[in-house]
Structure 1
Amino acid sequence: MKQAIVIMHGMGEQVPMSTLNSFVHSVWTTDDNLVDQGKPDPKTGGARGGNASWAKPDSRNNSTELRRVTTERDASGHYTDFYEYYWAHLMQGNTWEHVKSWIQDLLLRNPFTRVPARVFHAWVVLWLIALVVIAVTLYGMWPKEDAVEPWVSFVVPLLGLGLAAFVSNVLIKRFGDVARYAKAWPPNVAKRHAIRQAGVDLLIRLIDSKDSKGNEEYDRIVVVAHSLGTIVAYDILAMVFDHYNGKFDSSKSQPERDKLEQMIGDALTSGKLDIDAFQVQQAAALAEARDHGAPWKITDFVTLGSPLTHAEFLMAESPEDLRARQARRNLPTCPPVMEFDGTTKLHHFTYSGKADRKPSDPRTPHHAAPFAYTRWTNLFSPEKYILTGDLISGPVGETFGSNGKGGLIQGIRDIAVLPRLDLQGQIAPGHRRSGFSHNNYWNMGKGTETDTVVVPHHIEELRKAVGILR
């Protein structure tokens, strides 16, 4: 059998295949555990220089700029196809007007109720930058009766050039993508739709793909996303699950799904959910659904450096607004939102049309339950003083958890990398704080270990989350 791994890049002017090639190098080519290293290299017949892979045109990419990267058979007997969902070309044409309205929305909000504590210091810095821009602009416009000091004449133009470069290369080219995607303002709606729909089309093509004998080509699909791409991927997964959830067979016994609902229900009452046990049961429920013919085969969602941690800041008007959208099933949570069934007298993420239904009867998942069957792992880099770690990232388990009588429960596995943290949330022994790490989640040369290691901690965790060797 084969599996497909789809990588979705982040913000900025990305080059097609650049993200995919570097990702494949870290999670496939250099992992000695995936293939028997005593086997000859299938390309040369000689000693190995890494696990083999080949790039091949594939019409499912819907782009002549992209290639599918396919691998040799791994130690468990499987092949892996890597795809890149490339969307940067759909986000061209960012302007200062797009960014300005977004920045105004971020700045002109109550810092006590609408600015999360973990980004308050960044919000203050954003205000300072805005004030500097205003000051330099006013200085240039203000009439000057006397000659200014020579150093002022030298420094102010330099500040102006620096600010112009910052606005052009950082705000417009990079954060312009965030400004245009994160908010559903009228000028952004067409772009948001185009980006999502292209991603939905790719995943549906992969899910429905058949081999030459008419069998399903892939038995497992993993979606990996970075930075702004994690918000894009989250939206796409929600739409794709809505496409398939009604195709789950509701005529056969579903004991694993019933166990999963019982586990979530108990956790909502107690306020405690064992993520290890939860993810095991998610896999069992998906395997059961697949045995019954369900088309859903996205086993894992892996987010890297995700701004979803700031969803209340970027995707909603307030924490209360975010929870309201989640409760309305507009934004899927993990575990999924449970709703009370007046007949069974229990909470479910599924529904049944039978009048005399029982808790263990076959049921169909509602449209906002992708993370009942898809495990979500989130890698983030702890930030400090803005310039170390990754301010853009953070834990997402709390933000996208579910509320119950016992409090909030979290079904997302959040893992701190770059640097590694211990159980008390302190930097683990043998690690050091890194510089700005947002682009290092699959960089083999950017570990934070103080001692030399063959495989850095963040690469180990990434490989584990993707789980190529089954």
Structure 2
Amino acid sequence: MKQAIVILHGMGEQIPMTTLNSFVQAVWTKDKTLVDAQKPDPNTGKTRSGNVSWAKPDDRNSSTELRRITTERDNAGNYTDFYEYYWAHMMQGTTWEHVSTWIRDLLLRNPTTQVPKRVFHAWVMLWIIALAVIVFTLWGLWPKAEAPRPWVAWVSALLGMAVSAFASAVLIKRFGDVARYVKALPPNVAKRHAIRQAGVDLLARLIDSKDYERIVVVAHSLGTIIAYDILAQLYTRYNTEGGVGPQPQRDALEKMIRDGMDAGYLDMDAYQAQQARALAEAQAQDAPWIVSDFVTMGSPLTHAEFMMAESHDDLRARQRDRLLPTCPPTLEYDGTTKMRHFTYSNERDRKPGDCRTPHHAALFAYTRWTNLYSDERAIVTGDLISGPLREAFGLKGDAGAISGIRDIGVLPALNADGGVAEGHRRPFFSHNDYWALDKGTETGSVPVPHHIAELRRALRLVE
């Protein structure tokens, strides 16, 4: 089998191939389970130091700065091609005006209805910082009866430089990407469209090439929101193709979702296994969709009601309207079958046994979603940007929300009750550590750090 892994980087002034090279090291080169260590290195014929890969130009990525990293064959007979979808160059030109507009939008919200509990403490901290900047600025502009003491002038100058550096290096160059992408204001619309369209085009070229049996989309930080949007747009191109006969695996998947909504619970292992069976069934009937997995790391999608909508109710309304796909997908009632489905019949004279077509927001009927997050405490430990996605993108039913997203707490590993697993501790600012081989409290005590093992498991390279 030949498969493709496409990774999207996060916010900030990223350098082409930097994310991809370090990611390949973590999930391919250093994974001793993928290739027999006794096989000689294909480059030297001598003892190998790791799994081998090569960087090749590939015009499907539409950039001479990027390369496709292709691997040797693994123990299961698979070849893997790694691609980076690089978008940072399309987000240049961010100004303080873009950022300040977004910050004002975040600050001027009703804290009881429009600020989720998980980020309330961060929202309060943002207010404190904003007020401190305002007070400091006004104090500096206020006329003085006499010249300030030299040490006061020096401290004021240093504080002014620190605020300026923070605004430039962090707010504009990093969070400026978030500010411009998540808000559909007129100055941002063209860039949002360009970023999404280029990603859709890349994945469409990979699908249409027929070179791959399977594609996995992996994303970090802001890249997870971009990847989610890209997949939602891409799926509408392919959801009506294929499907020419009975689909018992799809029927079983729909029944599993209906039963889960009635019970208020969905078994994750069973759901993802049934997704795979339904996708294989659809592909056997010539459906071209081959994006089998979506893996998110450090995702701000956990704050979707804060960043992508006006409130929790507004987020749910957008999901009901199928603007934002849920996992499992939104169901609709069919008057012919008297049941809820994520599919519909195209037949004029409808009957229960008709061949059915998935609706345009049924992406996560066939694509499994795994989310790695780092539990945060006191802002400085873990990853405030990340979190579980169950509540934000699960499917709301009468018995509560059910989720088909596999949320996995890493850095640190978490117990079933949400507590820190024995032998682990909360790291400081872990947002950029999801594929770092030298991170994790268990590093050195076990062959593979917990977060790396979970990432490799989510990719399913040897599935």
Task: Name the TM tier (shorter chain).
Answer: over 0.9
How has the CA–CA distance of structure 1 residues 337 and 228 changed in structure 2, closer, same or farther, with 3 Å as cutoff?
A: same
The reply to whether residue 275 of structure 1 matches residue 268 of structure 2 is: yes
Q: 2:369 corresponds to which residue?
A: 376
Deviations 1:337-393 (A, max 9, x none): 000011110000000023554445320000001100000000000001101100000
Q: 1:467 corresponds to which residue?
A: 460
- State the 1:269 CA deviation: 1.2
- State the 1:407 CA deviation: 1.4
- State the 1:75 CA deviation: 0.5
Among candidates 212, 226, 235, match of residue 232 of structure 1: 226
CA distance in 2, matches of 1:391, 1:168: 21
Q: Is 1:196–1:232's contact at 8 Å kept on the other side of the alignment?
A: yes
The reply to whether residue 157 of structure 1 matches residue 160 of structure 2 is: no
CA distance in 1, matches of 2:242, 2:429: 44
Q: 2:95 corresponds to which residue?
A: 95
1:406-445 alignment, distance < 5 Å: 406-445=399-438
Q: 1:116 corresponds to which residue?
A: 116
| Other structure's SS at 1:399 match | helix
CA distance in 2, matches of 1:360, 1:462: 40
Q: Can you give the 5+ residue segments of structure 1 that lack an aligned partner in the other structure? A: 210-215
Q: 1:302 corresponds to which residue?
A: 295
Deviations 1:193-219 (A, max 9, x none): 00000000000000011xxxxxx2100
Q: 2:167 corresponds to which residue?
A: 167
Moved over 6 A (4+): none
The reply to whether residue 186 of structure 1 matches residue 189 of structure 2 is: no
The reply to whether residue 350 of structure 1 matches residue 343 of structure 2 is: yes
Residue 167 of structure 2 aligns with an amino acid whose one-letter code is: V
| Other structure's SS at 1:171 match | helix
The sequence identity of aligned pairs, in percent, is 69
| Other structure's SS at 1:22 match | helix
1:294-333 alignment, distance < 5 Å: 294-333=287-326
Residue 184 of structure 1 aligns with an amino acid whose one-letter code is: A
CA distance in 2, matches of 1:438, 1:361: 48
Q: 2:62 corresponds to which residue?
A: 62
Residue 458 of structure 2 aligns with an amino acid whose one-letter code is: A
Deviations 1:105-140 (A, max 9, x none): 000111111111110111111111111111121112
Q: 1:202 corresponds to which residue?
A: 202
Q: 2:86 corresponds to which residue?
A: 86
CA distance in 2, matches of 1:151, 1:392: 38
CA distance in 2, matches of 1:411, 1:360: 27
CA distance in 2, matches of 1:208, 1:354: 28
Q: Can you give the 5+ residue segments of structure 2 that lack an aligned partner in the other structure? A: none
Q: Is 1:53–1:72's contact at 8 Å kept on the other side of the alignment?
A: yes
| Other structure's SS at 1:398 match | helix
Residue 104 of structure 2 aligns with an amino acid whose one-letter code is: Q
Q: 1:142 corresponds to which residue?
A: 142
Q: 2:357 corresponds to which residue?
A: 364
The reply to whether residue 255 of structure 1 matches residue 248 of structure 2 is: yes
| Other structure's SS at 1:388 match | coil
CA distance in 2, matches of 1:292, 1:373: 14
> Which range is displaced more, 168-177 or 131-140?
131-140
Q: 1:219 corresponds to which residue?
A: 213
Deviations 1:81-127 (A, max 9, x none): 00000000000001000001000000011111111111011111111
| Other structure's SS at 2:69 match | strand
Deviations 1:133-185 (A, max 9, x none): 11121112110012324432222111111100000000000000000000111
- State the 1:453 CA deviation: 2.4
- State the 1:451 CA deviation: 5.7
CA distance in 2, matches of 1:88, 1:315: 20
| Other structure's SS at 2:239 match | helix
CA distance in 1, matches of 2:447, 2:104: 46
Q: Is 1:60–1:206's contact at 8 Å kept on the other side of the alignment?
A: yes
| Other structure's SS at 2:294 match | strand
1:443-454 alignment, distance < 5 Å: 443-449=436-442, 452-454=445-447
| Other structure's SS at 1:461 match | helix
Q: 1:212 corresponds to which residue?
A: none
CA distance in 1, matches of 2:340, 2:334: 6
Q: Is 1:273–1:409's contact at 8 Å kept on the other side of the alignment?
A: yes
Query: Considering only aligned residues, what root-mean-square deviation do their CA atoms show, in Å?
Result: 1.0
Q: 1:241 corresponds to which residue?
A: 235
Size of the alignment, in residue pairs?
463
